[in-house]
Amino acid sequence: MNPVSPELLRRFDIPGPRYTSYPTADRFVEAFGDADLAQALAQRRAGPAALALPLSLYVHIPFCESLCYYCACNKIITKKHERGTAYLRSLAREVDLYTQQIGQGQPVTQLHLGGGSPTFLSDEELSELMAMLRRNFNLVPGGEHSIEIDPRTVDAKRLDHLAQLGFNRISYGVQDFEPDVQQAVHRVQPFEQVAELMEAARATGFDSINVDLIYGLPRQTPQTFARTLQKVAQIRPDRIALYGYAHLPDRFKPQRRIHSADLPVGGDKLAMLSQALKVFQDVGYTYIGMDHFALPHDALSVAKRQGRLHRNFQGYSTQPDCDLIGLGVSAIGRIGATYSQNAKTLEEYSDHLDQGRLPVVRGLAMSRDDLARRAVIMGLMCQGQVVFESIELAWLLDFREYFEAELEALREHEGMGLVTVDESGIQVTAKGWYVVRAIAMVFDRYVQADRNRARFSRII
Q: Write the DSSP string, 181-193.
A: HHHHTT----HHH
User: How far, in Å, are 81, 188, 287 from residue 431 at the CA level?
Assistant: 48, 36, 11
- The annotation status of 383 as a binding-site residue, yes or no, is no
Dihedral sign of CA atoms 295, 299, 301, 302 in order? positive
Q: What is the DSSP letter of 308?
A: -
- The annotation status of 68 as a binding-site residue, yes or no, is yes
- The annotation status of 106 as a binding-site residue, yes or no, is no
Q: Confirm if 124 and 73 have CB atoms less than 8 A apart.
A: no
- The annotation status of 71 as a binding-site residue, yes or no, is yes
- The annotation status of 64 as a binding-site residue, yes or no, is yes
3-state secondary structure of 324: strand
With b meaning 16 or more CB within 10 Å and e meaning fewer, what string describes 42-59?
eebeeeeeeeeebbbbbb
- The annotation status of 212 as a binding-site residue, yes or no, is yes
- The annotation status of 73 as a binding-site residue, yes or no, is no
- The annotation status of 245 as a binding-site residue, yes or no, is no
Backbone angles phi, psi at 101, to 5 degrees: -85, -40
**Separation CA 246–CA 444 (nearest Å):** 21
- The annotation status of 322 as a binding-site residue, yes or no, is no
Residue 368 amino acid letter:
R
Q: Is the peptide bond before 23 cis (omega within 30 degrees of 0)?
A: yes
Q: Find the angle CA(337)-CA(460)-CA(64) to the nearest 5 degrees.
A: 70
Q: Confirm if 218 and 260 have CB atoms less than 8 A apart.
A: no
Angular region, 365: left φ>0, alpha ψ -120 to 50, beta rest: beta
- The annotation status of 434 as a binding-site residue, yes or no, is no
**Separation CA 110–CA 125 (nearest Å):** 20
- The annotation status of 72 as a binding-site residue, yes or no, is yes
Q: Confirm if 249 and 241 have CB atoms less than 8 A apart.
A: no
Q: Write the DSSP string, 179-248.
A: HHHHHHTT----HHHHHHHHHHHHHHT-SEEEEEEEES-TT--HHHHHHHHHHHHHH--SEEEEEE----
**Separation CA 91–CA 366 (nearest Å):** 27
- The annotation status of 70 as a binding-site residue, yes or no, is yes
**Separation CA 339–CA 347 (nearest Å):** 22
**Separation CA 429–CA 426 (nearest Å):** 10
- Which residues sit in the known binding site? 58, 64, 68, 70-72, 115, 148, 175, 187, 212, 246, 332
Q: Which residue positions form the known binding site for [4Fe-4S] cluster?
A: 64, 68, 71
Point out the annotated binding site for S-adenosyl-L-methionine.
58, 70-72, 115, 148, 175, 187, 212, 246, 332
